[in-house]
Structure 1
């Protein structure tokens, strides 16, 4: 389970180190940084997939996502006036996590080119540093694998094992050297990042693929866009777990869910009281279909190690928020969840306690707010912020 996530230099997240629990509920007003936190976690996961450079490019490049304020805000808070400060460290975006076994920290920076050198990819960010470590904090003594620009090495019981002196700045050590037999710690971190699942609403308009019959194969985890909903539902049904059936019946007055399979195509069917025939996915209301998507994601027979849900209550009728919260609680018994929500009722339904009172609680609310453009966390201070060491280039 993740114990800490750390972000420095991404949008409004000038420097945020968050404690994570079995179920972490992130709340706050519009524009306070909830979406930035969600996106930064996706970027961290993309490091394991070797896609972080492309993901940053799709956001407009590193220059577009970097913290736009001064490096230090002390003067602004004292005087009430914003002004630039002298930079004491390189321009960078840093992302990391710590868990009960391994942790990972990556430092992404602006590209450097030799005089006279030209490239069409001159705006691609570069991976400046990476660290894989054991324990809760990325310290030198806990480092298992480290990478500084083109040089990478692993610390072993017998000494230092040089991995490369010419690692390209766009390639991660997780992609290049994560072989289970040679470097199991790299493989463990890579596989964990690839295993994370992110659900950020679902497309349910009239032309949405989820409304059309789809080729189905066994699907233990719903895809991020939910296109394989029917196959995921059938997988849950055949797992002999009746939690989905009970959730649908409770949410829709005794309705039953099934899957019609013809010539390898899977189509969802919902039979409701008073109806002479079941309704196909194409006929369901947007809210009904969206609830079924969330239910299939949360009741996965093989849940990922981390699920991150972004505003799952959006476009749901208020009567469906409580059943959704019950599904979230059920999922939290089997995996770790982060729920980003606008609904004030969600943390109440989940019985989340404020982070300041989080000791020995599994469900915690993290409320974010803006202070001089910076995202901060209510109730998080020196005594309860997790220890973290960013290191230096």
Structure 2
């Protein structure tokens, strides 16, 4: 289980160290940095897939996502006015996590020498990477470390060289994650690749979830919900008790089935008093959205981490309690982070194992409400 998430230099996250529990509920007003936190988590996951450079490019490049305020805010808070200061650290975006076994830290910066007249002069470079043991990325805990093109691994009696010419756009997770030689790299890479993100679903008239689709066994609902019917059928064949209970609680004893014709799968909702089931194309937007969340949360193949961004959006208030029940059940099987605006959902998710995080904004910086220096999880960024 992840215990700490750390982000420095991304949008409003100037230097955020976030505690994580089995179920973490993140709240805050508009503009406090909830979306930035969600995007930072996605970028961190992209490091495991080797896609972080492209993801940053789609956000407008490294310069467009960097913290735009002064490097230090002490003077601004004393004077009430933010002013530019001299830079003491390199331009960088740093992200990392710590868990029960291994942790990971990556430092992305601007290219030093992209090549003469290169069209990729604005692509960020991976300046540093560290895979470490324990809760804090300290030098003594490093298992694999990389500085620009030079990478080395801890062999027990010292560090052994892996490469002197690792391309700055390639991660050690992609290049050296072989279970036989470096199991710690494989563990971190596979963990990052397995994280799941759900940020709402399309439910308009042309949404993929409304149309019959070719179906195969689908233990994991895709992020746009196009394979909803196949995912529901997979859950049903795996037992599906949590899904059955949630649908019945949400819709007065209703049940789900999947009609299959010539390989096309179509979801059906059976409701009391109706002479026939309603197909996915006939469902209301809120009903279909709830069923999409239900399929995501009752996956028979739970990930190590699931991140839900505002799952209550456009749901009727009566559906928030069944949704909360689904999230609590999912959190018993996997670690869950919920980012929400809903006070009702927050209260319904308040359990003994819930970590509640309230975000606030101060001089443009995202802070955790009530977190002081002694309250933050231990973290050490190190340097280039």
Partner of 2:170: 171
Question: What is the CA–CA distance in structure 2 between the aligned matches of 1:61 and 1:30, rounded to whole Å?
Answer: 24
**2:107 paired residue number:** 107
Q: In the alignment, which residue of structure 2 is the partner of 1:356?
A: none
The aligned counterpart of 1:372 is 363
How many angstroms does 1:213 deviate by? 1.0
Report the TM-score when normalising by structure 1: 0.96
Q: Which residue in the other structure is 2:37 paired with?
A: 37
- The residue that corresponds to 2:275 in the other structure is 276
1:38-63 CA deviation, whole Å, 9 max, x = no partner?
A: 00000000000010000000000000
- Residue aligning to 1:292: 291
Structure 1 CA distance for aligned equivalents of residues 179 and 209 of structure 2: 36
Q: How does 1:26-65 map to 2 (within 5 A)?
A: 26-65=26-65
1:4 aligns with 2:29: no
Q: Which residues in structure 2 correspond to 1:76-91 (within 5 Å)?
A: 76-91=76-91
Alignment partners' CA distance in 2, 1:245 and 1:326: 12
Structure 1: segments with no counterpart, 5+ residues: 353-360
CA drift of 1:221 comes to 1.5
**1:50 & 1:228 partners in 2: Cα distance?**
25
Name which of 342, 366, 383 aligns with 2:374. 383
Offset, 1:128: 0.4
Residue number in structure 1 paired with 2:337: 338
1:154 deviation in Å? 0.4
Q: How does 1:121-200 map to 2 (within 5 A)?
A: 121-200=120-199
- 1:244 and 2:243 aligned: yes
Q: Give the whole-Å Cα distance in 1 for the aligned partners of 2:342 and 2:350.
A: 14
Q: Which moved more, 1:254-263 or 1:153-162?
A: 153-162
State how far apart, in whole Å, the 2-side matches of 1:157 and 1:373 are: 44
Counterpart of 2:201 in 1: which secondary structure? coil
Deviation beyond 6 Å, 4+ runs, structure 1: none
Shift of 1:276: 1.2
Residue 15 of structure 2 aligns to a residue whose secondary structure is strand
Aligned length: 384
Select between 105-114 and 282-291 the one with higher mean Cα deviation: 105-114
The equivalent residue for 1:357 is none
CA–CA separation in structure 2 for the residues paired with 1:342 and 1:162:
48
Confirm or deny: 8 A CA contact 2:240 2:298 kept in the other structure: no
Deviation of the 1:66 alpha carbon: 0.2
Asked if residue 347 in structure 1 is aligned to residue 346 in structure 2, the reply is yes
Tell me how far apart the structure 2 counterparts of residues 306 and 101 of structure 1 sit (CA, whole Å): 15
Per the alignment, residue 201 of structure 1 pairs with 200
What is the rounded CA distance, in whole Å, between the counterparts of 1:182 and 1:195 in structure 2?
Answer: 21
C-alpha offsets along residues 11-61 of structure 1, whole Å, 9 cap, x if unaligned?
000000011001000000000000000000000000000100000000000
